[in-house]
């Protein structure tokens, strides 16, 4: 197998888009396809971004990295790690070949999300190919440049429905000087109460998960603050690898062959009597649920949140159904950027 090299293939991607426009052929955009299980199935000609790859610019002193969409995520993270920096939103890869473009398009964030922010919060600028056959640039490559922020960040979590992401500029931050993960024996009710209490205090918590038996916390910051927090909270030290296994769905919890749902809920949500096995993440704001009942999205809406199904084919609406007014806005936005409906049609919703 020939190793891929860094190259600018944006013109080739643009040519494929313009051919699709001329023939009115829908396009199924993909990088490594590591997140193909999310959303509805898409029929169309494959537009693959992996040939368009490479880190375009990275100056650690500027805390900004720019990379083409097909760049393997592992290469971007390795470059940051070598400079003592990281992407704080901790995006999951779900495979070894995940790409930077796919990371932004999916918009998924890891255990650090409530404390550090989401993928969208770290997008400074993007280049994309629109449904009009134009190569556009939004945002910038420095943190003080606010022009176009909303349009650029709008692509995060759009699952390729608005255009073909070709390049992304991301804000990065230094890695913490010290980290420690601990395990505390308590039930989920007590854990959620404690997390709500600790959330109002200056504790260096950067991850919190409860699996039904115990609470696991990750502490990050200066050595003194982490040590002081450990002394105050107690608990036994555990391997930091737990958070990677959780983020990549490699814990035993994720093994069972039942539909997996991700519920995003208000921070103050307490224990929930859900119909199946659950794992609490994000200090309670995210719940992973394994169940074969079909009322999960209705329940999530009752609690002020939303739910996404992570098992292909388990439901016709894997993403939370939109209210009529919000659906109207989504359709209008799709029509503006992709008037022929070429890009990943129906990936998120059947209506666009």
Task: For residues 116 and 215, state if they share a domain.
Answer: no
Q: What is the pLDDT of residue 150?
A: 64
Query: 277-299: per-residue pLDDT in tens?
Result: 999 999 999 999 999 999 999 99
pLDDT of 148 above 50: no
If DSSP codes are grouped into helix, strand and coil, which group holds residue 197? Answer: helix
Tell me phi and psi for residue 241, to 5 degrees: -60, -20
Provide the 10 A C-beta neighbour count for residue 194: 17
User: Containing domain of residue 126, as a range?
Assistant: 10-174
- 3 pLDDT band (50/70/90 cuts)? low
Mean predicted confidence (pLDDT) in 78-106: 97
* Global pTM value: 0.94
Mean predicted confidence (pLDDT) in 123-130: 96
Q: Tell me, what CATH number does 134's domain have?
A: 3.30.465.10
What residues pair up with 214 in beta bridges, in sequence order? 185
Burial of residue 24 (CB within 10 Å: 0-12, 13-18, 19+) is exposed
Tell me what the pLDDT averaged over the chain comes to.
Answer: 94
Task: For residues 159 and 219, state if they share a domain.
Answer: no
Provide the 10 A C-beta neighbour count for residue 280: 23
Residue found under tokens 């002394």: 231
- β-pair type (64-68, 236-238): unpaired
pLDDT of 232 above 50: yes
Last residue in a domain, options 130, 145, 174:
174
CA pair distance 262, 217, nearest whole angstrom = 20
Task: For residues 64 and 147, state if they share a domain.
Answer: yes
Task: For residues 95 and 204, state if they share a domain.
Answer: no
Whether 338 maps to a domain, the answer reads: no
State how far Cα 133 lies from the chain centre.
Answer: 27
pLDDT of 27 above 90: yes
Whether 314 maps to a domain, the answer reads: no
Q: Tell me, what CATH number does 213's domain have?
A: 3.30.70
């Amino acid at each position: 197998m020939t190793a891929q090299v860094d190259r600018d293939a944006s013109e080739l991607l643009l040519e494929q888009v313009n051919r699709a426009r001329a023939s009115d052929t829908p396009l199924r955009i993909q990088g490594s396809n590591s997140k193909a299980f999310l959303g509805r199935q898409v029929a169309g000609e494959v537009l693959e971004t992996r040939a368009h790859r490479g880190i375009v610019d990275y100056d650690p002193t500027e805390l900004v990295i720019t990379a083409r969409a097909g760049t393997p995520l592992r290469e971007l993270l390795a470059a940051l790690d070598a400079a003592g920096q990281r992407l704080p939103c901790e995006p999951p890869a779900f495979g070894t070949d995940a790409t930077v473009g796919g990371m932004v398009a999916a918009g998924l964030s890891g255990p650090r999300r409530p404390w550090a922010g989401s993928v969208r919060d770290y997008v400074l600028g993007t280049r994309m190919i629109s449904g009009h056959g134009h190569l556009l640039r939004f945002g910038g490559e420095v943190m003080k440049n606010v022009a176009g922020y909303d349009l650029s960040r709008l692509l995060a979590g759009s699952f390729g429905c608005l255009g073909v992401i070709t390049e992304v500029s991301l804000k990065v931050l230094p890695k913490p000087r010290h980290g420690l993960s601990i395990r505390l024996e308590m039930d989920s009710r007590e854990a959620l109460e404690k997390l709500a209490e600790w959330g109002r205090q200056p504790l260096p918590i950067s991850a919190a998960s409860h699996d039904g038996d115990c609470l696991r916390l990750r502490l990050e910051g200066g050595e003194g603050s982490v040590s002081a927090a450990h002394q105050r909270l107690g608990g036994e030290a555990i391997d930091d690898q737990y958070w990677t296994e959780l983020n990549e769905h490699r814990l035993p919890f994720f093994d069972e062959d039942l539909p997996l749902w991700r519920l995003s809920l208000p921070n103050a949500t307490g224990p929930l009597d859900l119909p199946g096995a659950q794992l609490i993440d994000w200090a309670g704001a995210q719940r992973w649920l394994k169940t074969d009942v079909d009322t999960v999205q209705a329940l999530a809406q009752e609690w002020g949140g939303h739910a996404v199904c992570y098992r292909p084919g388990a439901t016709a609406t894997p993403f939370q159904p939109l209210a009529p007014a919000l659906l109207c806005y989504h359709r209008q936005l799709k029509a503006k950027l992709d008037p022929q409906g070429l890009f990943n049609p129906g990936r998120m919703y059947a209506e666009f």
